[in-house]
Amino acid sequence: MARSESSPWRNSSTQVFVADLNHPVLHRPDQHHLERVLRLKPGEVVCAADGRGSYRMCSFVPEERLDPISEVVFVPFTKVVMTVAFVPVKGGKPEWVVQKLAEMGMNRIKLTQSERSVVRWDADRVDKNLARLRKTAEQACRQSRRLWIPEVTSCRFEDLAGAALADMDGRRPSPDDRELVIGPEGGWSASELQGRDCVNLSDGVLRAETAAVMAAGTLSALRLGLLGPDLASSH
């Protein structure tokens, strides 16, 4: 397939992220996964990536290391950068949301709060949860063979002034959309909606987690030209 020819790293047995591509060393959990779960045999080809667009093909050695068999290749991210921000909800699973957004190629994933937020993290919990969610994003990119791991950060709602809010009374998605914000189960307050650009993602009321995935799917489809012109070629 043309897609495989243009993305040779997807032809490898699996993909892992390493700290140094010049000396690719497997983390112990990855070593266990390759040996015990995937049951790779010595000599099978593994793609080692750094999460920032570079990769090299390696031969698997069952001793916590990889033997490079190609030079380091850098694949620049030339597509339009897309962002989804969401408000964590009570009983929700932010790990699941981050996993799906990373799988669908979002470049930036932001966690924020709103006036109707039920879940509120203090400073210690923010740092701890962000570390866990970044690991989730890394694992999702490894599974989906993406070379770029998205940024996972937290921000204030006020810092999202240029982003469109997901709301049933909003307009249709546009190829110009770059950043969408998903609110809590109770929706946005009147003051939060005032003067804001809003985008409708469905003809029904979606759960917050579903809306976040719908937003990522919509942005991904717009970027790839599945819902209109290919953004990478039209901008």
Tens digits of residue pLDDT in 72-104: 999 998 778 999 999 988 776 899 999 999 999
User: Measured at the alpha carbon of residue 176, what is the angle toward residues 3 and 105, in degrees to the nearest 5?
Assistant: 35
Q: Delineate the domains of the chain, giving CATH numbers in brackets.
A: 2-74 (2.40.240.20), 83-234 (3.40.1280.10)
> In this predicted model, what pLDDT tens digit does every residue of 170-225 receive, in sequence order?
999 998 999 999 998 888 999 999 999 999 999 888 889 999 999 999 999 988 88
- Residue 110's Cβ-count burial label (10 Å; 0-12, 13-18, 19+) is buried
Residue 102: closest CA among 74, 135, 67, 80: 135
